[in-house]
Structure 1
């Protein structure tokens, strides 16, 4: 008896039935699923009915020209799809074809340069036969890049038509060059830095300085400053002594560790946006290499805390 697995006695449905259901759900059609699986439409329909009988529920509403998932069917599809993706990824990782495979990745330039790049050696060591093609962007796109296998985006995680998995949640912190710091306590240093230097604003987040001042309990009016469109540019401007910047803490760690920038006030602000790995919902299954990379980057994020 298995005392640790509560599902040890449960008989799973045959894999063929599960494949038929997953393909039919993706295509919303028995006919298109049959084409993908190289079966007849009648065979796919029969396998899905067998699965429904085994589970004791109806998974599809049969419409005149298409299929619609029932509530139970819609709930069953995501874990089943993830299981197929994980199985494909594990198989590709362990027994994939010998020779180069190329994985195309698109992501925000600051995330790629400051967080992803220092960790890529681990991915390359694990899967040396997968070559990477990386393209960077500044603003989150609204559409999937058909040339990319992996899309990394910064936002609220809500992109219609896409599945998103959170990589990093964020808070922002104020940083400046060590030479800028004056004052004996947090409030004195904040007033000193803000009154004597241009403030660096990340475009789209110009209100963060105002929020920081309000949180500190000051009525100080922040002066005009410089707007910049990437975190890496804001960090470089701050390190050059142009002024203080409020930036994503988890992207600034190399600057803090090296001493190029310092936290002049022990304060942080949470933000709603995060970095996500995004995959399209639709008729195409992700490539196994893409699932390998998705699982790896989520593992790296967990190690990052």
Structure 2
């Protein structure tokens, strides 16, 4: 039996309503009246034979089947946009605004954007680098690289890393004897802490079975990039996200002793704001480019 595909404008309207959780905001984005949006949704629900939204006094909410349908629709529209770009290319003169945590921007993004510019010379990328990601001044941002749990209600977030960090030491500190014991001695002497991630040393101590003693105060900084430079300068040891230390390791500026790794829940994510207009094809191309490049290291 052949099932007719839902009318594409109805599908686009559903995607916007699901993303905004509002008929009114979806109407603003699509250039329709709220009544027209409601009509599209009713037609789609009638064709599918299921209610996709619960209508409530103060807005709408996806039904269970609506929640299951939303990522399918989003994926189809993303694939459609990506296929269009692959076949017809990206028009010159387009600008993508990318907001990115500072350490990722300085340590990972240069290589990624250099290769992207070579592949898509007609697309401009404007990079913003707040130290801490929040929603302040986030208007008109097309894409964002964040670090954290991935639980941001106004963003669709895709993980770029596995949540692994490495303890790193200055290259002049040779590991004599047992690696864990030698690292403990170095960490006790001059630990470098990163704001928001001060508990990583404690987690590593538990993982390696170190004695239950408080770490020394050491130096505290607000970005992994500064922590890396301090390690390279011989100021102490730090625990750095694996995504950020490849270049320093390649150049021999820091040492990763014994292959020790610490797993945790914090990681980098590539995010698209749910409150944005329908995602432009070039934004999806850059998102997928960043994902692919971080997979390649």
TM range (shorter): 0.7 to 0.9
Secondary structure class of the residue paired with 2:172: helix
2:204 to 184, 209, 212: 212
Preserved CA contact (<8 Å) 2:103 2:225 = yes
Query: Larger deviation: 225-234 or 157-166?
Result: 157-166
1:108 paired residue number: 101
User: Number of residues paired by the alignment?
Assistant: 295
CA-atom RMSD, angstroms? Answer: 3.0
1:124 paired residue number: 117
2:228 paired residue number: 235
2:157 paired residue number: 164
**1-structure distance, mates of 2:179, 2:75:** 48
CA apart distance, 1:108: 1.0
Preserved CA contact (<8 Å) 2:144 2:271 = yes
Matched, 1:300 2:266: no
Secondary structure class of the residue paired with 1:279: strand
Pair 37,95 (structure 1): closer, same or farther in 2 beyond 3 Å: farther
Pair 215,94 (structure 1): closer, same or farther in 2 beyond 3 Å: same
CA apart distance, 1:283: 6.5
Preserved CA contact (<8 Å) 1:140 1:155 = no
Query: Larger deviation: 12-21 or 270-279?
Result: 12-21
Pair 32,189 (structure 1): closer, same or farther in 2 beyond 3 Å: closer
TM-score by length of structure 2 reads: 0.85
CA deviations over 1:74-94 (Å, ceiling 9, x no partner):
321232133223323432454
2:50 to 47, 57, 62: 57
CA deviations over 1:251-298 (Å, ceiling 9, x no partner):
111111211111234422112111112222236222222222112222
2:23 paired residue number: 29
Query: Larger deviation: 250-259 or 281-290?
Result: 281-290
Matched, 1:261 2:261: no
Secondary structure class of the residue paired with 1:250: helix
Preserved CA contact (<8 Å) 2:21 2:61 = no
1:5-84 paired onto structure 2 within 5 Å = 10-25=3-18, 26=20, 28-29=22-23, 33=27, 36=30, 41=35, 47-61=40-54, 68-84=61-77
Secondary structure class of the residue paired with 1:80: helix
1:194 to 187, 191, 194: 187
CA deviations over 1:150-170 (Å, ceiling 9, x no partner):
111111011122221112232
Larger radius of gyration: 1
TM-score by length of structure 1 reads: 0.83
Secondary structure class of the residue paired with 1:78: helix
Secondary structure class of the residue paired with 2:250: helix
Secondary structure class of the residue paired with 2:160: strand
**1-structure distance, mates of 2:181, 2:54:** 66
2:195 paired residue number: 203
